[in-house]
């Protein structure tokens, strides 16, 4: 008979706290550690996945301090690598590239690739809202996990794991075009401002469950489309304008 998955055990905990020890020592954590070559005690690994919403309901420690530590570890690891790879870049260029690589979307991409959402321990209400799928929560959990790698496998271990995951899930992170491709809105903004001395403008109107988004440059409409979110629409329209050479 197969053992219940972690989220099934979490649902049991919502009904009875008796399952708490089973939750924090769950075999899914062990399987994840083995698959990634991690040597982190299971209860410490589980802590990296314990959201504060669960902590508030069941009075157990949560991941927040680990997120803080993991962010610092990540900044150091990546800053050192960028310094080594791009000796001719100035501080502003290095800062932009670092921000592009370790932004919430990038960290969430790696978190999804690793399946971290299936290991997240959240409160009952947040579980029903599927908080474990949200980009910001996944990004925070990735940082908390990296913090535990650092604590138990050292800085070299954290560096090795991070770049292994980065290469696996965002292989173009250090390519010359990565920053432009990632931050298309900022790139478009800089070019439009330099040419017209005014910023590009986006308008959006609800269209059912989606949004009709338009891009305006120098008071002329450049593009329009239907998108699942305003943010996505703005990014896609900016990207299209750059690729068409409009600016």
Higher pLDDT, 243 or 247: 243
Contact 210, 228 (CB under 8 A): yes
* pLDDT for res 31: 96
What does the pLDDT average to over 185-206?
Answer: 90
Per the DSSP assignment, residues forming a β-bridge with 15 are none
Instruction: Quick: pLDDT tens for 222-233.
Output: 999 999 888 888
Q: Which of 28, 67, 71, 234 is catalytic?
A: 71
Distance (Å, rounded) from C-alpha 40 to C-alpha 151? Answer: 9
Closest CA to 78 of 93, 98, 95, 94: 98
What does the pLDDT average to over 192-206?
Answer: 92
User: Is 143 noted as a catalytic residue in this protein?
Assistant: yes
Contact 140, 49 (CB under 8 A): no
Contacts of 171 (CB under 8 A, 6+ apart): none
Q: Which of 67, 143, 183, 234 is catalytic?
A: 143
Contact 185, 192 (CB under 8 A): no
Distance (Å, rounded) from C-alpha 120 to C-alpha 63? Answer: 10
Most distant CA atoms of the chain, gap in Å: 68
68 pLDDT more than 80: yes
* pLDDT for res 102: 86
Tokens of 46: 């589980």
User: Is 219 noted as a catalytic residue in this protein?
Assistant: no
**Domains in the chain, start-ordered, CATH in brackets?**
6-175 (1.10.1520.10), 183-243 (3.30.160.20)
Instruction: Quick: pLDDT tens for 22-41.
Output: 999 999 999 999 999 999 99
Distance (Å, rounded) from C-alpha 187 to C-alpha 180? Answer: 6
């Amino acid at each position: 008979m197969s053992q219940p998955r972690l989220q099934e055990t979490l649902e049991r905990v919502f009904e009875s706290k008796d399952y708490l020890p089973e939750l924090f020592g769950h075999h899914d954590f062990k399987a994840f550690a083995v698959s990634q070559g991690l040597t982190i005690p299971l209860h410490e690994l589980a802590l990296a996945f314990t959201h504060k919403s669960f902590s508030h309901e069941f009075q157990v420690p949560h991941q927040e301090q680990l997120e803080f530590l993991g962010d610092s570890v990540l900044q150091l690891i990546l800053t050192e690598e960028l310094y080594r790879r791009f000796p001719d870049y100035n501080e502003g260029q290095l800062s932009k590239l670092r921000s592009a690589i370790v932004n919430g979307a990038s960290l969430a991409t790696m978190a999804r690739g690793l399946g971290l959402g299936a290991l997240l321990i959240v409160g009952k209400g947040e579980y029903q809202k599927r908080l474990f799928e949200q980009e910001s929560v996944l990004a925070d959990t990735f940082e908390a996990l990296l913090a535990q790698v650092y604590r138990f496998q050292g800085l070299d271990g954290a560096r090795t794991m991070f770049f292994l995951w980065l290469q696996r899930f965002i292989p173009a992170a250090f390519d010359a075009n990565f920053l432009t491709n990632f931050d298309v809105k900022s790139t478009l903004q800089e070019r439009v401002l330099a040419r017209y001395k005014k910023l590009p403008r986006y308008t959006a109107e609800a269209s059912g469950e989606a949004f009709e988004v338009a891009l305006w440059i120098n008071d002329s409409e450049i593009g329009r489309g239907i998108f699942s979110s305003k943010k996505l629409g703005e990014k896609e329209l900016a990207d299209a304008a750059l690729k068409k050479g409009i600016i």
